[in-house]
Amino acid sequence: MVAALNAALRASLDRDSKVLLMGEDIATLGGVFRVTDGLAKDFGEQRVIDAPLAESTIIGAAVGLAMRGYRPVCEIQFDGFVFPAFDQIVTQVAKLRVRTDGQVAMPIVIRLPFGGGIGAVEHHSESPEAYFVHTPGLRVMAPATPADAFVMLQQAIASDDPVIFLEPKRRYWDRGEVDLNVDIAHATLMGRARVTRSGSDVTIACYGPMLRTCLEAAEVAAEEGRSLEVVDLRSLSPIDFPTLVASVERTSRLVVVHEAQGMASVGAEIAAVIAERCFWSMEAPVIRVAGFHTPYPPNRLEQHYLPDVERILDAVDRSMAY
């Protein structure tokens, strides 16, 4: 996935001279995860910019650049460091296009490595997506595979809407086939979910780092005679409810899985909407599998916090018991 993201940034920089990158250590070092490795050498440090350790300044500068016609792509080094920039994101980035009646576009992409599972220290394993999904005016995207990362990042950069681009950091080293010649204009539309595995008994809705875990759970369930349909949401704002509703109407059951805590979460919104739209099709209540309502634990305990195959299969068992 790291290589796919790097290729997407390279293609976007090459395609549009108004695209530029900003972030801490992204030029000389290539970023802490090496996503921007080699880009400063090839495109120059006027377009791949090492920013100060000041997230609010990075986003504030991006707002000004966007108002002047540029397409800034900002890297927040780790998920837990986005909060110093939160004011800029929710009061300026998200609102300026509406505030100007569409006359000022905000083509800003904020790349945000998110989630746990890498044994990191405090503030390096957060899942803050619900804050941004709750904020009108922001698109929120979460690729789960290298192929999607390559296409979706280019789509985000080409969009005139501001995009929070959530990168599942523990999947950075996952491998998968990527078509480097894909035409992003004819790829899966921005904002669309994808049925990654077809099934008939229970729908599993997930995104980002949890897709791989849910597919592993589906494999185990198949050995036990149960058929799980896995839907990769891909976009969290907007959520592709038509695809999700169609799946639930086929299976009559839904389990929602994500790393973030369950309270007031993306999963909670999905559960509420599906309960409204699919009430007469459901044979069981929506069940959520999420992180616990605690601050993210020390790394020695994170395996107890993060949803795993066993917790997903337990939720499937509970759903099937109705």
Residue type, 51: A
124 is annotated as an active-site residue:
yes
How many Cβ atoms sit within 10 Å of the Cβ of residue 221? 22
**Number of Cβ within a 10 Å radius of residue 117:** 18
Cα angle for residues 173, 163, 263 (degrees, 5° grid): 80
- For residues 39 and 287, give the distance between their C-alpha atoms in angstroms, rounded to a whole number: 44
End-to-end CA distance of the chain: 39
Among candidate residues 124, 134, 186, 258, the one labeled active-site is: 124
Tell which residue, 114, 99, 212, 96, has the closest CA to residue 165.
Answer: 114
What's the gap between Cα 224 and its chain centre? 31
Please identify every residue annotated as catalytic.
Answer: 124
